[in-house]
Structure 1
């Protein structure tokens, strides 16, 4: 026994470390609150919608527009419609990869027990649940180095598997992975690690695999890429939260990012000195990992996204991408230890040993029980129950839901026919709004469940504004009901042929950014505001500057709402002021009373071009 342990201790320790770090529930079922703020249904709705789209064979990039792909359920762990063996196979893939990476890290270390201790610390600080795309990126970087050192078919296959999973799970990390894979092939060609013919064959085979998977998973790659680019472009402009609540946390993240960048800067200098040019490449890969992780954290600056940085940033230090002599490796190990210590000191959770132990044990017990209970998992249909008289009206008819409560339609077994960007708060740009408007015109639902709601202090009617205008012109209020303590409107389509909305241009004007723009009888206004060089640099390094839209009403009062350059350019309905279900109903019935008299922008003008362009429209049918 002692001889066996002595011979296989690295395997044993690596396996135990994998058991420690593997910390995900076997499945989740979104908790859908029956009452309270409608925002509580936001995350459960998009999570269950991903599964719904996969089950009903929606085409990603056409029928559904989102940055999460058809394998998004592997990140959310939502079990709706997914066989249990799919989760088991994916988890085995993750476990095997973790084992290989951990074993490799220990074997390549000059001080093996120090490496074991550092891996143990990683297992303590890393939270696997909710960060699967970054875990896949971690595997991708590791296998890129393995492929560089040993360009064989097995390493190619595993790397392409990781890239494919990342691509169809969440497009952001998947696209970056494809770019890095292509850059790696160029590096290997330049350093004569691979012949041109072989590189072409491997890249071609990888492309065929991705195209085949796209076909099997109903993904229009072009539409998937373009739509996701639009979402990301709009997201960074408006999704930050206006608060100094996490100012200290963000400062800590910036310090950690700078510390890592200093390490990779030192590695680049050392690589140039010793002509190890592959180290420059892999230092660049590591920097991209950290920059993207930080950008995600500060773009939606809430605790969940900050936690993802604290949890995942140290992963990149364990990929083993730098082959150095024993002396330099000793310094790398010490730096890794210093970084993890700093990470623990900065961790705002400040968990006690007992709480920490429970956080590692309870998910494993939950995982085991989840396997046993999978076929008897709960549903949430009683948490979003639609009154019987409304269900009878909807029977046999197609239904869409505004602004986002897909879970309501799915749990009540409605014939759900959603817009491609199924959450109106995500229609950040004009292109995304046009996609939804075109869907409503060509494939209109018979009924809509409509609730006037938004997030982050925005003006709800400007979320998916063109769709809102189309609805007001083509639907009538058939009923209303309470869902929990919130009123929901039941809208019914007028007739069989929808009426397209026409936007007739009146004129284009130029204003100073600080000027007040009077409505002057316009129905719809677009404002084109552009960042200057300082603003673009600030957006790249941090996040977009906040823009507030100030509306002056006909009674002299002023209302201030959060907006963005993309949303302003998409256009705003200004013929009436709508602030809830009651005024929306009045607008549909042509009885709206409150008017908007002028608009103005409130922002840090130093970050924007001094003049704005205003385009006025009248709306007709």
Structure 2
């Protein structure tokens, strides 16, 4: 009997796999590349897309664990009903939804999300197990459902209110016709694709269309190849009107440390062709590619939290760095239920200004700008403009600060001199 069921299961799984393969091959899809890139996206999400919390995050986790404890208590009290296959099936579905929401909130690294994510499964759970023969319990469960539902809608109302208070003009602003060639293709940096729609442009995006989503070196390389081959004619660069110190990106991450490979290819193959305003400009293909070569100057080992002095570097030249941080076995194990540790970066400029931001440490194995601070994309293009380069702020020290234990204490830090050919 068991062998027969196993054979049926094997047939069903094989049929699904064969159908999936035939469909993708019929549409001329690189199935191997699809699988590889899918695994790459999954592997990098947990480390890159977590929410960076403030020092009060512990109280949210305690609240989340308390909610989980209450949920488990309810399961224990209803253990007698588990002998029913129908009830067991319902319970397993609810537990699966609950675990998924629980896991998602902790993967994103924000226990404050736990209430939002898990509330639906809790409400459904209580609704299913409303007892018919106990009025007091029914009143208690009904009241609990009402309170939780109110909190659920209140949370999402606040989210909606936040969204509606954005500045829609920065995503729909018209671009003068004299600056556009609608026969050519456009991409948008870092993610405001609505600009293409509202200006009726031909959209030809890079493979990973949002900069903060290219969160592994392999994904970054895919976008870099796109720009190296000049597959798009023009790029719209949009800078936040808030003028944040880390630039126009998410989770307080420094935009210059995202897509480092792609940014180098953009510098080599594109140049500013038109400026709309302080927050929006256009870059087009260079007639002649500008090559950038890297020469290794120094390689030293530093400890996390130790300031790295850059004052000996020539401020008239451009330098890049690479580094490689390794996770400990403890961090890898803890990440199964919690999240990976992350690293914050602290820059100090020669005018004694300190800029602190978060980063995706895995991306720093690629060449990233070291000695010049760029606050927006226009500054970024100034890196290879001899007239504007001297106006950029010079970085005097850089420091890598882990938010918690989980990294190897020592790391290698390489400095490269960049030369333009």
Do the two structures share a fold, i.e. TM-score over 0.5?
yes
Q: TM-score per shorter chain, which class?
A: 0.7 to 0.9
Distance (Å, rounded) in 1 between the aligned partners of 2:366 and 2:137? 48
Distance (Å, rounded) in 1 between the aligned partners of 2:87 and 2:343? 42
Q: Compared with structure 1, are the counterparts of its residues 385 and 512 closer, same or farther at alpha carbon in structure 2 (3 Å cutoff)?
A: same
Distance (Å, rounded) in 1 between the aligned partners of 2:27 and 2:121? 28
Matched, 1:531 2:322: no
* 2:300 maps to which of 509, 527, 531: 509
Q: Return the offset for 1:451.
A: 2.3
For 1:557, the equivalent position in structure 2 comes to 353
Q: Return the offset for 1:403.
A: 0.7
The root-mean-square deviation of aligned C-alpha atoms, in Å, is 4.3
The 8 Å contact of residues 237 and 280 in structure 2, kept in 1 or not, is answered as yes
Count of matched residue positions in the alignment of Structure 1 and Structure 2: 386
* 1:437 maps to which of 221, 224, 240: 224
Matched, 1:595 2:406: no
Matched, 1:410 2:197: yes
For 1:577, the equivalent position in structure 2 comes to 373
Matched, 1:547 2:343: yes
Distance (Å, rounded) in 1 between the aligned partners of 2:207 and 2:401? 32
For 1:385, the equivalent position in structure 2 comes to 174
Gaps of 5+ in 2: 158-168, 240-247
The 8 Å contact of residues 230 and 431 in structure 1, kept in 2 or not, is answered as yes
Distance (Å, rounded) in 2 between the aligned partners of 1:223 and 1:265? 46
Question: What pairs up with 1:362-511 in 2 under 5 angstroms?
Answer: 383-391=172-180, 394-452=181-239, 453-482=248-277, 487-495=279-287, 498=289, 502-506=293-297, 508-511=299-302
Distance (Å, rounded) in 2 between the aligned partners of 1:192 and 1:463? 52
Q: Return the offset for 1:441.
A: 1.0
Q: Compared with structure 1, are the counterparts of its residues 586 and 604 closer, same or farther at alpha carbon in structure 2 (3 Å cutoff)?
A: closer
SS of 2:373's equivalent in the other structure is coil
Distance (Å, rounded) in 2 between the aligned partners of 1:198 and 1:541? 34
Q: Compared with structure 1, are the counterparts of its residues 209 and 344 closer, same or farther at alpha carbon in structure 2 (3 Å cutoff)?
A: farther
Q: Return the offset for 1:280.
A: 10
The 8 Å contact of residues 402 and 424 in structure 1, kept in 2 or not, is answered as yes
Distance (Å, rounded) in 1 between the aligned partners of 2:330 and 2:99? 19
TM (norm. structure 1) is 0.52
User: 1:231-290: per-residue Cα shift (whole Å, max 9, x none)?
Assistant: 34443334304347887665443333344456668999999xx9x999999988765543
User: 1:482-534: per-residue Cα shift (whole Å, max 9, x none)?
Assistant: 3xxx52111121116x4565555555432222222344658222222233344
Question: What pairs up with 1:316-335 in 2 under 5 angstroms?
Answer: none
Gaps of 5+ in 1: 1-190, 321-328, 357-379
For 1:120, the equivalent position in structure 2 comes to none
Q: Return the offset for 1:204.
A: 1.4
TM (norm. structure 2) is 0.74
Distance (Å, rounded) in 2 between the aligned partners of 1:315 and 1:243? 32
For 1:256, the equivalent position in structure 2 comes to 67
Structure with the higher fraction of residues in helix conformation? 1
For 2:101, the equivalent position in structure 1 comes to 293
The 8 Å contact of residues 459 and 562 in structure 1, kept in 2 or not, is answered as yes
Matched, 1:349 2:157: no
